[in-house]
Structure 1
Amino acid sequence: MDVVVDRITLRPGDSTGWHYHLVPVFAVVLSGTLTRILHDGTVEVSPPGAMFVEAAGRDRVHLGHNPGSEPVVLQIAYALPEGAPLSYEAPAPPLCGPAAEITGVAPGCMTA
């Protein structure tokens, strides 16, 4: 098992792209405010100093987005099997409401 600590910077308007992890990921927002869109359409906003855990699994795709005017800097820790990638790209899940608007993904739900 390898413990990998990484620092990621998202410039204003950037995103991580849709992805998932095979192990839980532990993150701290060092600066900026990160907006995360989770597999179920939940939107979570993490200000500087916030800590969060990203759940593991192919069914837990998510996207990190920086809608702000300053860079978002994250410190992230992964405990990975040797040689495993940090994350895997994934297609966007069907989204509704604010999550669809934030990501620009065509809504995947039916509206009345």
Structure 2
Amino acid sequence: MPLARHLLGPALLVATAALLAGCAQPGQLGHESEAAPSASAAPAPTTEPALPGVPDVPVTQAGSDAQGRLDRPVDISTPGPAELLVRTEVLQPGQASGWVRHPGTVITVVRSGTVTVQRADSCEPRPFGPGEAFFLEDGRPNELRNDGPDPVVLTRSELLAPGAPEREPVEPAC
């Protein structure tokens, strides 16, 4: 029984993603349609409404396929119903997320560029490059920065309690 409980979170995440992908029609969820521009003509990023104290982060439609490798085991569980958010974001050179906490678990894949992740529990900045992924635990403050010369494209998957915000600003931890 402990093994089944340990696998329930990842199984739920995979099943939800498969269900959403299976229901997508051309032009939805990042799938290209006949009317969609070619891959060489990337759409201009849009900006999500800012939360107080959290900088605007451009959101791009970079497609739906992102794969990255996590360097350690991940244990995901929710105390009740959850919403799955999948979002692709762009950090321009010199841009940072500001210190935030996510009221849910987050797995992020780096699609391009190099992002620096700083977590409150260690304060040691750690770079992640293309094809790498990182896990942010529920409620632990962190900051993401683009210290490089090129834009960083990230795709994150987040499990949230229904109605919870994606992120909340916090005081700098390091």
Normalization by structure 1: what TM-score? 0.78
Which residues in structure 2 correspond to 1:1-112 (within 5 Å)? 1-39=82-120, 40-57=122-139, 60-93=140-173, 95=174
Kept after mapping to 1: 8 A contact 2:92/2:152: yes
User: How far apart, CA to CA, are the structure 2 residues paired with 1:38 and 1:3?
Assistant: 23
Shift in Å, 1:82: 1.6
Shift in Å, 1:73: 0.5
Which portions of structure 1, spanning 4 or more consecutive aligned residues, are displaced by more than 4 angstroms?
none
Shift in Å, 1:83: 1.4
Gaps of 5+ in 1: 96-112
Alignment size in residue pairs:
92
Tell which structure's C-alpha radius of gyration is larger: 2
Shift in Å, 1:43: 1.2
Q: Going by fraction, where is strand more abundant, 1 or 2? A: 1
Q: Going by fraction, where is helix more abundant, 1 or 2? A: 2
Tell which has more relative contact order, 1 or 2 (C-alpha 8 A, sep 6+). Answer: 1
Normalization by structure 2: what TM-score? 0.51
User: How far apart, CA to CA, are the structure 2 residues paired with 1:66 and 1:14?
Assistant: 6
